[in-house]
A and B are shown apart, each in its own frame.
Chain A
Amino acid sequence: MTTAVGTIAQPLRSGLGSAFGVILILLAWDLAARATAGSFVLAAPAEVLNWLVANRGLMGRALAETLANAAAGFVIGNLAAILLAVVALAWPRAERAVMNLALLIFCLPLVATGPILRVLLGPGDGPQIWLAALAVYYTTLVPLMVGLRAAPASWLDLVRIYGRGRWTEIVRVRARAALPYLFAGLQIAAPAAFLGAMVGEFTGAERGMGVLTVRFIRAMDVPAIWALACVAALVSILVFAAIGWLARFVLDEKPPVIIAPAQAVGALGVTARMLRTLTLAVLALALWWAVIQIAQLNPFFAKGPDDVARALLSAPDAAETRARLGTALVETAVYVVPGWAAGLGLGAAIAIVLILFPPIAAVAMPVAVALRAIPIVTTAPLIVLVLGRGAVGTISLVAVMVFFPSLVACLHGLRQAPGQIMDVFDSYAAGPVSRLIHVRIPAMLPAFFASARMSVPAAILAVTVVEWLATGRGIGSLMALSASLSEYDMLWSAIMATAVLAVLFHAGVSALERVVLARTAPEQVG
Chain B
Amino acid sequence: MAPDPRAAEMKSVASPDIVCEGLCKSFADGTQALAPLDAVFDGGKTTAFVGPSGCGKSTLLRLIAGLETPSAGAVLIGGAPPASLQRQGAIAMAFQDPSLLPWRSLRGNIALALTLAGRPADRTAVDGLIDLVGLAGFGDARPSALSGGMRQRAAIARALVTEPSLLLLDEPFGAVDELTRRQLARDLPKLWEPRGTTTLLVTHSVDEAVLLSDRVLVLSPRPAQIAADIAVSLPRPRPAGIERSENFRALVMQVSDALAEGAVA
How distant is A179 from chain B, measured CB to nearest CB, in Å? 8
Q: How far is the CA of A219 from the CA of B154 in the complex (A)?
A: 70
Return the chain B residue nearest A165 by Cβ: B87
**Given A161-B66, A163-B88, A163-B89: A1 and B144 within 8 A (CB)?**
yes
* Chain B residues within 8 Å of A159, by CB: 116
For residue B184, CB closer than 8 A to chain A, the reply is no
> Is B91's beta carbon under 8 Å from chain A?
yes
Docked Cα-Cα span, A157 to B89, in Å, equals: 13
In the complex, chain A residues whose CB is within 8 Å of the CB of B92: 161-162
Chain B, residues 83-116, CB within 8 Å of chain A (1/0): the string is: 1011111011101010101010000000011011
Contact B99 A158 (CB under 8 A): yes
Contact status A252-B103, CB under 8 Å? yes
Tell me which of B88, B97, B117, B118 contacts A154 (CB under 8 A).
B97
B residues 149-174 with Cβ under 8 Å of A? 162
Pairwise interchain contact B91-A161, C-beta atoms closer than 8 A: yes
Which partner residue on chain A sits nearest B86 by CB separation?
Answer: A163
Interface of A is mostly: helix
Partner of A162 from B62, B97, B117 at Cβ < 8 Å: B117
Q: Is A316 an interface residue (CB 8 A)?
A: no
Question: In the complex, how many residues of chain B place their beta carbon closer than 8 angstroms to a beta carbon of chain A?
Answer: 27
Question: What's the Cα separation between A378 and B89 when bound, in Å?
Answer: 57
B142 touches A (CB below 8 Å): yes
Q: Are B112 and A157 in contact (CB under 8 A)?
A: no
Nearest chain B residue, comparing its CB with the CB of A180 = B103
- For A150-172 the 0/1 string (1 means CB < 8 A from B) is 00101101111111100010001
Pairs A-B, 4 closest by C-beta atoms: A163-B86, A163-B87, A162-B116, A154-B99
Interface flags for A183-201 (1: CB within 8 Å of B; 0: not) read 0000000000000000000
Q: Does A389 contact B (CB under 8 A)?
A: no
B65 at the interface (CB under 8 A from A): yes
Binary interface profile of A, 496-522, with partner B (CB < 8 Å = 1, else 0)?
000000000000000000000000000
Which B residues are within 8 Å of any A CB, using their own CB?
62, 65-67, 83, 85-89, 91-93, 95, 97, 99, 101, 103, 112-113, 115-118, 142, 144, 162
Given contacts A172-B116, A176-B101, A252-B103, contact A161 B144 (CB under 8 A): no
Question: Once bound together, how far apart are the Cα atoms of A154 and B88, in whole Å?
Answer: 20
Q: What is the bound-complex CA distance between A1 and B146, given in angstroms? A: 13
Q: In the bound complex, do residue A157 and residue B103 qualify as a contact, i.e. CB atoms below 8 Å apart?
A: no
C-alpha gap A163/B99 in the complex (Å): 17
Most chain B CB inside 10 Å of its own CB: which residue of A157, A159, A176, A252: A157
Looking at B67, B83, B118, which has the most chain A CB atoms within 10 Å of its CB? B67
Q: Could you tell me the distance in whole angstroms from the C-beta of B67 to the nearest C-beta in chain A?
A: 5
* 8 A-B residue pairs with CB within 8 Å: A1-B144, A154-B97, A155-B99, A157-B95, A158-B99, A162-B113, A162-B117, A172-B112
A176 vs chain B, min Cβ distance (A): 6
Asked if A238 is an interface residue, CB under 8 A from chain B, the answer is: no
B214 to chain A, nearest CB (A): 24
In the bound complex, CA of A161 to CA of B162 (Å): 12
- Interface contact B112-A154, CB-CB below 8 Å: no
Docked Cα-Cα span, A161 to B155, in Å, equals 14
Inter-chain contact B86/A157, CB cutoff 8 Å: no
Residues from chain B with Cβ under 8 Å of A337 in the complex: none
